[in-house]
Amino acid sequence: MSGKIETGSIITGKVTGIQPYGAFVALDGNTQGLVHISEITHGYVKDINDHLKVGDEIKVKVLSVDEGAGKIGLSIKATEEAPIQQAARPKKPRKRQAAAAIIQEGDGQQGFNTLKEKLQEWIDQSQREEIKK
């Protein structure tokens, strides 16, 4: 591994391989690093192939250097300015749907009616119970 690669430096490299978890980047003739899928770009990346292909020359920032393990962690998104987040669009109000109430029918079977249909019956029933008291 080359001793001149330092954490925090920005280097131009060439994509040499793509895996589902990241892209391998050659930094010089002897040194290669990995750009993890989470470091490809700002936002969600479902498929790295939508963003990179083997042979692409890219600018990367060195995130970590592990001389013992021979691993270099790289980031493409660290070389780019984060996009300005737009204010969330106000959501359209949803139409309210009437809730369903379970009712007992004459022969013991249960059925469903909307609350709107059942409301007057409940009001009448409540008034009858108040009179009984």
DSSP calls for 92-110: PPPPPPPPEEEEE-TTS-E
Could you read off the pLDDT of 63-80 as tens digits, one per residue?
A: 999 888 889 999 999 998
Strands 110-114 and 100-104: antiparallel
pTM above the 0.85 mark?
Answer: no
Give the pLDDT of residue 24: 94
Six token digits for residue 87: 């204010």
Q: What confidence tier does 88 reach under pLDDT thresholds 50, 70, 90?
A: low
**Mean pLDDT comparison of 13-22, 80-89, 94-103, highest-scoring range:** 13-22
Kindly list the structural domains of the chain, giving each domain's residue range(s) and its CATH number in brackets, ordered by start.
Answer: 10-79 (2.40.50.140), 100-132 (no CATH)
For residue 14, the Cα-to-chain-centroid distance in whole angstroms is: 28
d(CA 78, CA 36): 12
